Structures are given as C-alpha cells and as structure tokens.
Chain A
Amino acid sequence: MSPVDPASASASEPRRGSSLRIPLLHLRVGVMNELQYRANFAVQLLQTFVQVATGLIALALIFDHTTDLNGWTRPQLIVVLGMYNVVGGMIGFAIEPNMGRLMADVRLGTFDYVLTKPVDAQLLASAREFRLWRLTDVAVGIGVTIWGVVQLDDGLSLGRLVGFVAATTVGIVLVYCIWLVVTTGAFWIVRMDMVQDLFTGMYRAGQYPVTVYPAWLRLTMTYLVPVGFAVTVPAESLTGRLTWERVVLTVVFLVVALGVTRLVWRLGTKHYAGASA
C-alpha cells in the first residue's frame, strides 16, 4: 500500500456517533444563516398574522350564516386552522427548503457531493436546509389551536393529547414521504418546479377539514398531498372525532409510504447521471 501515515489510517475508522448529529449540525448552520437576515423574521411574522387573520375572518363569515360546517363546529374549525398553520410551518421550516435544494442540486450537478459522502444520502438530502423564521407559523398555529381547544365543549383529555402529538408527527412524516417521492422525479425529469407550486396550492385547501370537500377532492387531498393526514387527522384526535379505523389506516399508510419512498429514492439515485458528462 501507499505510504499513508497513521493519522489517515485512523481517519478511515469512523468514530461511533448518532446519525442525528448531521441533521442537528445542519439545523445549527441553518439557524446561523437565518440569524443574519433579521428582516426576514419581520416579513415572515407579518405574513403569518395576515394568513391567520384571513383564516379567522373566513371562519367568522361562515359561522354568521350557519352553526356547523358539515358536522364541524366553530371551535373545532379553529383547531383545524391552527393545525393548518403548525403543519404548514413545519413544511416551510424543514421539508420545502430541502426539497427545493434537492431539485436545484440535481439541476446544477452538485448532487454529486451528496452521493460521494459516507452517510445515508436520503438523510443528508432531507435534512440540510432549514428556514428558521417559518417556525413563527408553528408558534402562532399552536396559539390558535390552544384557543380553539379551550372553546371545545367537551374539553381535552390526556389520551386525546397523546393521539394528537402522534398524529401530527405521522402527518408531517407522510407529507415528507409524498413530497420526496415527487421531488425524486427530478432525477428523471430534472425540472420539477411546477410540482412544488402545485403542492403549495393544494396545501392551501387544507385550512378546512378534508371532510367538507367533495369525494374526489377529499381523496386527492388525503392520499396525494396528503394534507388530510397531516392536518385533519391531528385535529380530529384533538376534538375527539378520531375513529379506530382512521388510526389503523393512518399507520398502514405510513408504513407503505416510508417503504415506497425509500424504494423510489434508491431507483432515482441509481438513475441519476449528473448534469454534465
């Protein structure tokens, strides 16, 4: 072998460490990046308040004419609106920036650097860009959710709260899965920007429970976007509307989505040929 010195030999023996270390360091880098642009924080805060205010005004208008919307009461819909902001904030904080970066990397050929690192490429590509200020959506969304919950007639039990936290986590993971599968299309098609826009547009419809929409739209929103799983199911668990069938379906859907996402990712990276030859 080459006269490689002992230091390099030890470099090839990895230190034991958690795979979470890399996403956490990227999060730190993301926070440091965003802290340089304080103006973004003000703009984001304004945007969040405008969004929440228009949502609440729309609800007020609806309940001027009726006392329930397809079985949903006003406080329950406030919970849905709050959850819509929480999940939207999480998407904007962690999912959307990473998917955007992935598409740009594939287009520019810098995805080469992801594939030549000795870490799981899917993990690296999914958790390296974070937009800190989008957490304002999460914070305001939590506030709105709590405000809705305290107005609920039947209050909130511990069971419902646990179910809610689990459902929210599962919902966000599902959104990530579907979004990554679609973004992985960039390995074949290269330009996928319009898909991102389509997602954002469809997600906007999630500020009302998916059950208020006609069947075809409800199915699209539940399984394709899947804002139904991410917003409506957590809201259902908080408001005591969640059924056991729904829980089982959600878990099955999660397992299938995780498996399919991994498979599509593997196929995509295998297909990837770089932007230049």
Chain B
Amino acid sequence: MPSDAAVITTGLRKVFRVPVREAGLAAATRSLVRREHRDVVAVGGVDLRIEPGEVVGFLGPNGAGKTTTLKMLSGLLHPTSGTVRVLGHEPFRRERDYLRRMTLVMGNRNQLQWDLPALDSFELSRAIYRLPEDLFLRQRDELIDLLDLGALVDKPVRNLSLGERMKAEIANSLLHRPEILFLDEPTLGLDVTMQRRIRSFLADYNRRHGASVMLTTHYMADVEALCKRVIVIHHGAILFDGALTDLSEQFAAHKTLVVTLERPTDPSSWSRYGDVVASTPTRATLRVGREATAAVVASILSDHDVRDLTVEDPPIDEVIELAFASAEAPS
C-alpha cells in the first residue's frame, strides 16, 4: 500500500477499562474495597485512509467513538491494538516532528490566556512551535485577515463573545500552519452566522494550503459545506465511508418531489403518485420510493400541466438518522 496518505489505520481498536458498580450507598461502600471493572469497546477495529488535502466529515451519535478515534490520531491515546500512521508517524510516540505538523481544536475547550489579548497567546504559540519571526508574522497576519480578527486580537479574551473566541482559538491553533487538522466540533454552540464564517474560513484554508482536515460535528450544514467525503461511525465501527452524495443513495429509500401546477387539480388525486407530505390544489410535496422516482415524474408530467417540479434527497441529518437506525435494526 503506498504510504503517502495523510492517515492510514488498520484494525484500529481502543478498549477502555471502566469501573462498574450498582446504585446506592452499600454498593458505593463495597466499591471502596473491591472495584469491579468491565471493558468498553470505544473503537472496534477501524480501517481508514485519508489522502493529503482531503476534508473528511466524521459523523456519529454521542459515544460512537469519534473523539476516541481523533485522540488516537492526534497521539493522545494509545490504541489497544491495530496500526495507525499519520503523516508517516505513529502518533502515540508524540514525536516533535509530528506534533509540529498537526493541530487539534476542541470546540468546548479553551487554550488562549483568558485575561490577556489573543496576541499574547499567539506569541506563546510562536515560542512553542519555534517559528522564525518573519514567518510567524506573515502567518499570523494572514489568519487575522482571513478570520476577520483585526479588531479583536488586542482585547482581553474574556471580553470576546463565544464565536469571536472560537475564531481566535482557531487562529492560534493554525499559526504553525499544520498539514493536518483534527477539529472536534469546532462550531459547537455558535450562532448560525458565526458557524458559516468558520466554515468558509476552513474551506478557504484547505484550498490555500492543501491541509487535510478531519472534522467531527453535529451540524449537518458544516458537513454539507465542507466535506465531500463522510465517514459515519456507530458503536465504534464504520457504518459508511464515501461521498456525501452516496450517503443518501445508500440509506434514504425515498426522494421528495415538489410539484407546482399551472391549473388547480383535486388535492385527493395526489395520493396515487406517492405519500402526500403537504398539498394544495396547485402544489404538492410528495415522498416517493427512490426506485419509482423516474416513473412518477414521467406520469405527473403527462397527467398535468406542470409549471415547476423539483426532486430532492431528504435533508442530510434525516439520512444520517436513517443510517443509525439501520445499524440498530435487527438484521
């Protein structure tokens, strides 16, 4: 296998040993003396290959194993078994050459100095990554510009809004221009405008510098805007790995048709084409089986004088839910 991929894992597995005890005072007292443990498989044998410059959405419900996987890739956790290589390094060795080439951003955890302007934290990062001054200034100013941080970097971080702080956090994490970005819910809790701003920045950054990005998020808008490829993980196993567009093909059995007519028709007549989601005499929203879509469109066009007709996949979050549901369903 060629080894110039940004990330390669085979059979990557992480098992946590966690203490268990029953509820109640007696059980709590017993556990002081004798602790019982059980093994929890957080990631159960994951094979991944991510190419340089790829932006991959890493999706799954809470507890699916997303963060554990990211932590193994960023060198914070030792895998229980399996192999992992990122940029040619074994991350858990935490070699400095590797750490200088990657970054980890966690949406809910700060690393900027709270009482000081972000510029002071940037200086610290410069020392940590040992950046020569001219390079540091160039990269810092580019990030300030791209993230529109000009008016914010000299205010104490505690006076910034959550979204402004996140932008400064991201700038701080990218000063050393990493080749791979592990982003764990970077838009968590931000308002829609700020989410959009950060998304467009990340897309721009990826285009400019060809960095690989691995992103976990619960916001489907992030995924649609950034990720051509998605990996869906559930109970520590990969459920889907492919193009975002193929996700609907695989998990959504229906498409949505929205029809607008030139002249009114009997609303009850819509039901012969598919499940009626909403209807008026001149307009209907229908849910139609994926396989039957072409035939239904043909018969609507021949039966009616159609002004407008659109065929849509269900919203992406609905598709993801369908994917999780399919994994839960007994086979």
Contacts and interface: CB of A to CB of B under 8 A. Distances in A.
Contact of A273 (B77, B94, B138): B77
A109 B185 CA distance: 15
6 contacts: A22-B128, A33-B115, A116-B94, A117-B128, A277-B16, A277-B63
Contacts of A26: 124
A2 B128 CA distance: 25
B229 to A, nearest CB: 15
Interface string B68-112: 100100111110000000000000001011011111101001110
A118 B100 contact: yes
Interface string A66-85: 00000000000000000000
A266 to B, nearest CB: 11
Interface stretch (A9-17, A167-175, A256-264): A9-17
A270 B78 contact: yes
A272 B52 CA distance: 29
A166 interface: no
Nearest to B100: A118
Contacts of A251: none
Dominant SS at the B interface? loop
Interface of A: 1-5, 7-8, 10-12, 14-17, 21-22, 25-26, 29, 32-33, 36, 108-110, 112-113, 115-119, 124, 270, 272-274, 276-277
A108 B97 CA distance: 27
Contact of B109 (A15, A33, A112): A112
Contacts of A116: 74-76, 94, 99, 102-104
Interface string B153-180: 0000000000000000000000011010
B223 to A, nearest CB: 21
A234 B77 CA distance: 43
Contact of B179 (A4, A270, A272): A4
Given A4-B209, A29-B120, A276-B67, A115 B109 contact: no
Nearest to B99: A118
Nearest to A121: B94
Contacts of B307: none
Contact of B71 (A29, A112, A124): A112
Nearest to B142: A7
Contacts of B135: 7, 10-11
A109 B76 CA distance: 11
A268 to B, nearest CB: 13
A7 B104 contact: no
Contacts of A124: 128
Contacts of A3: 53, 210
B122 to A, nearest CB: 11
Q: Which of A3, A12, A277 has the most CB of B within 10 A?
A: A277
B138 to A, nearest CB: 7
Contacts of B211: 2, 4
